[in-house]
Chain A
Amino acid sequence: MDNNKMKQLKEKYEDIPIPTELDEVVKKALQKRKSKNSGFKWVAGVAAAAVIFTSSINISPAFAKSLESIPVVGSIVDVLTFTEFTVDEGNYQADIKVPAIDKLENKELEQTLNEKYLMESQELYTKFMDEMKGQKAFGVDGHLRVDSGFVVKTDTDQLLTVGRYVQETAASSKTTIKYDTIDKENQLLVTLPSLFKDDSYIAVISENIIKQMKQQMKEDEAKSYFIASEEELGEGFTEINKEQNFYINAEHKLVVSFNDYEVAPGYMGTVEFVIPTDEIKDILVSNAYIK
């Protein structure tokens, strides 16, 4: 390898173009620590929102694609794509799929969930449109992308878990996911507090998660979690919420889920912890779901 060749290679390396966004990305990342908990700062006019929403349903070709069934084999309850909102205007793109639960005997529960799904999707859509209009009005050459949809996380004879995800990409990207677990036999929505005898689950599960975080970080240097420590008051993970996002997997294990940036840096994405049943068996109401 002569020096000339190496020099040529080095020049190539130095010619790698630096994107104009780099500066912004770096600055934002440096500030992230301070604004870790701040969500979107926008307020939508509800009336205006409703108008935009209805009109876009009617003119959207995506509406034709709606009611595209996702067959759930071997069970009666279905999850369908109720409708889909799409926006594709240059750097502004949105794809929001709205799920709907179908054939649940408990119609009230079905309706409550479906209304919630539709409303959340409407909100997301309105937020996107507002943000886009705002940026355009100020002549900002922005990038905005929203992808939302759903996954069937667990589907056994007993349980159905629907996870709805939202991935928002501006200069950085952020993913959130929310789960709903339905007891198909009893036609009930399973909540986290309902699984346990009392509130002690918060401490028990949190402690186990911190243990798992530490273990994972020890085993793999690439992993990193925010764990609150004594010298960093008010920062990092201390305990789960009472209604922490969760689902029960097909192996009957409780899985606790966190969104981007909630307990770990962005590169870790959304993270999940499977809680060993042994740790919580004493405080479970029953072994109906979790074994």
Chain B
Amino acid sequence: MFNRQPKQEKIIAEYVMQNKESFYRLAYSYVQNRDDALDIVQDSIQKAITAGTLKDIQAVKSWFYRIVVNTSLDFLRRRKKVTVLDDTTIQLHSPSHEDHYHDMDLEQALNSLPIQYRSVVVLRYFEDLKIEDVAEILELNINTAKTRLYKALKILRDQMNDLHLEEVRHNG
């Protein structure tokens, strides 16, 4: 009685432990820094074990991904209100901050994608989820998810082409 469904909680706990790295990377892909990503993982777990909105234990995967995505988006929304200026300042003052990325163009192209497009790309290609699962996680219908994915790829392709043209110009 005290523990509503201990079995369900156990399944969630096991699932989270097994996939914690995926969740961390997913959160990181949104917030782009370690501490915030850790916070999001933590908050997502909190939310998951207290929410009790999981109806079907089979759906634990897309359910938990959805919580991570929503928590990240919520975080970005809140941060936007507070530190728009800060981000710019930090970037200006620490150009070497992201040194370890060798291919900044590609990285930038992805990061400059509007967030709803980035979500589909990350889930579909990096997390290797089926488009049906992506749609479920983002609470879209399948056709909308597909359209977003194509649109995202198109934007990326166009940006990459621009970048390549620039490279050619530089080299020539």
B-binding residues in A (CB < 8 A): 1, 5-6, 8-10, 12-14, 16, 18-19, 21-23, 25-30, 32-33, 172-173, 221-222, 224, 226, 231-235, 265-267
Contact = CB atoms under 8 A, between A and B. Distances in A.
A232 B38 contact: no
A232 B4 contact: yes
B29 A16 contact: yes
Interface stretch (B17-25, B56-64, B82-90, B130-138): B17-25
B79 interface: no
B46 A12 contact: no
Contacts of A29: 41-42, 45-46
28 contacts: A1-B156, A5-B156, A5-B160, A9-B125, A10-B126, A12-B107, A13-B122, A14-B126, A16-B25, A18-B21, A18-B25, A22-B20, A22-B21, A22-B24, A22-B38, A25-B41, A26-B16, A29-B46, A32-B45, A32-B49, A222-B73, A231-B1, A232-B2, A232-B4, A265-B43, A265-B46, A266-B43, A266-B46
A19 B34 contact: yes
Interface size grouping (class) on chain B: 35 or more
Interface of B: 1-2, 4, 13, 16-17, 20-21, 24-25, 28-29, 34, 38-43, 45-47, 49-51, 70-71, 73-75, 101, 103, 106-107, 110, 122, 125-126, 153, 156-157, 160
Contacts of A10: 125-126
A55 B25 CA distance: 46
A5 B110 CA distance: 11
B52 to A, nearest CB: 8
A191 B75 CA distance: 35
Nearest to B29: A13
A266 B42 CA distance: 8
Contacts of B47: 224, 265, 267
A14 B152 CA distance: 20
Contacts of B2: 232-235
A12 B49 contact: no
Contacts of B49: 30, 32-33
B71 A26 contact: no
